[in-house]
Chain A
């Protein structure tokens, strides 16, 4: 994970307690100006402040969702006395580990408008936060291999169109022109066609964390790294602050956005969640010439792939299936992903995998996220994103900020309630029931 390694070094070299604000705007002109001054005048993208004794809002977790929440809180809702507390270095969680796919091809009424809101935010994000996140709407194709699978995708495509989301059913011949290297004649799972969302694609994941961090920092948010929350202080039915590895901090409102560690942090206030933590792996191959120019998912097995701008194939499969807090996966899963990949693209047999890694997913009991207030009046929860929370990052941040600032859910996030399991209003896209490792 060379990218993460570089980030880590960057974070270390930046720990010189620079507390002055850096308001530099990135542009072609700033690039040119800095080139003339031999690139010596670039300033850090965000400050590295010490924690203050009190904040109006503390966000636990400096992943994509925590940072996006801080960004929109400070930018849209005018709440600026905010801290993001991150246990490790910025980007060390799933935001720096995912396979970067964005899409809004959801079926259910409670999900679709939210993910489409996220897609619209992605479409304007780079201009909005003045950072190159390499948003690439290269299209996402989901393959189907049987009549039943085609019918299910037709239904999904129609549901998307009813929500004014683009969806196209692509027949086998058209698909052959687009993706000639697939194994169409596979004896067991012949490829019959695919459902395509042209506006789907990929975004450079760690640049999303950096862009949101920089934008939030410029609005006065303190991003505090190497600061683990170890306990939550309560008085009656209110939260008063947190204990951290960098001392106690008090707050007006406390917001959790810790992804795979949701249950662990919730236990600090005796809260049990409908969530299990599971490991998911991802893989990158050696660099190849341009080969795959969309995202493709296999309908007959757990496999999906895209090609990064550096030429590496970025791919992955299913979660490991057992609870895990170790950011690594199992060889059985590596074998399974490789087999599924070769069934879809036989040419992969000659490709060498350069690196692989794992992240911890917050798998909810219906496969959909939870964004809500909790039984403690000023404690707010955001989690349960499963393996699909990257695409949600901007909307999750926007809607969570909306909830924190106004105490009401954003109009696209009204179904992500904590009590939906108790009330029987599940958001089960796959329809597999209350078993986290099947979603």
Chain B
């Protein structure tokens, strides 16, 4: 993993400034959705070998939630966007 990560708001920043939440899961279900939709959202992960989309928090900078596209074998980061740009209810 590279030691610098490019935040869309703050530019290149050291990796230690970020807190990693993990994989972007299936969309958050409606509050009255059946239990298995919640099970999927809370617990199940794709955990791919290769391209991966994950939530990072720029805790030591702008404090925004970001979505990184990163390869889990090479650790190359291909995109970093603000999490608010994700379309509500989609995975991609």
Question: Is A3 an interface position by the 8 A CB rule?
Answer: no
Task: Give the contacts of A263-286 with B (CB-CB under 8 A).
Answer: 263-264, 272-277
Interface residues, chain B, with chain A CB atoms under 8 Å away: 1, 3, 15-16, 20-23, 35-36, 39-40, 42-49, 52, 54, 70, 72-75
Instruction: List residues of chain B with CB within 8 A of the CB of A272.
Output: 40, 44-46
A273 to B52, CA, bound (A): 16
**Binary contact readout A325-341 vs B (1 if CB under 8 angstroms, 0 otherwise):** 11000111000000000
A sample of 7 more A-B contacts (CB under 8 A), given A264-B49, A326-B74, A421-B43, is A273-B44, A274-B45, A322-B1, A322-B20, A330-B3, A365-B45, A434-B43
Among B43, B46, B75, point to the contact of A324 (Cβ < 8 A): B75
CB proximity of B7 to chain A, nearest CB, Å: 16
What's the tally of chain A residues with a CB closer than 8 Å to chain B?
26
Q: How far is the CB of A154 from chain B (nearest CB, A)?
A: 32
Supply 12 A–B pairs (Cβ within 8 Å), ascending by A.
A263-B45, A272-B45, A273-B47, A275-B45, A322-B1, A323-B22, A323-B72, A326-B73, A365-B42, A421-B39, A435-B22, A436-B22
In the complex the two chains form, is B15's CB within 8 Å of A263's CB? no
Nearest chain B CB to A335 CB, angstrom units: 9
Query: A377 interface residue, CB < 8 Å from B?
Result: no
Q: Which residues on B sit within 8 Å (CB–CB) of A422?
A: 35-36, 39, 43
Instruction: Check A276–B43 contact: CB distance below 8 A.
Output: no
Task: Using known A-B contacts A273-B47, A322-B20, A323-B47, determine if residue A434 contacts B15 with beta carbons closer than 8 Å.
Answer: no
Instruction: Tell me whether chain A's interface is mostly helix, strand or loop, or mixed.
Output: mixed
> A437 at the A/B interface (Cβ < 8 Å)?
yes
**A274 — which chain B residues lie within 8 A by C-beta?**
43-45
Query: Which residues of A are found within 8 Å of B40, using beta-carbon distances?
Result: 272
Contact A332 B70 (CB under 8 A): no
- Chain B residues positioned under 8 Å from A421 (CB to CB): 39, 42-43
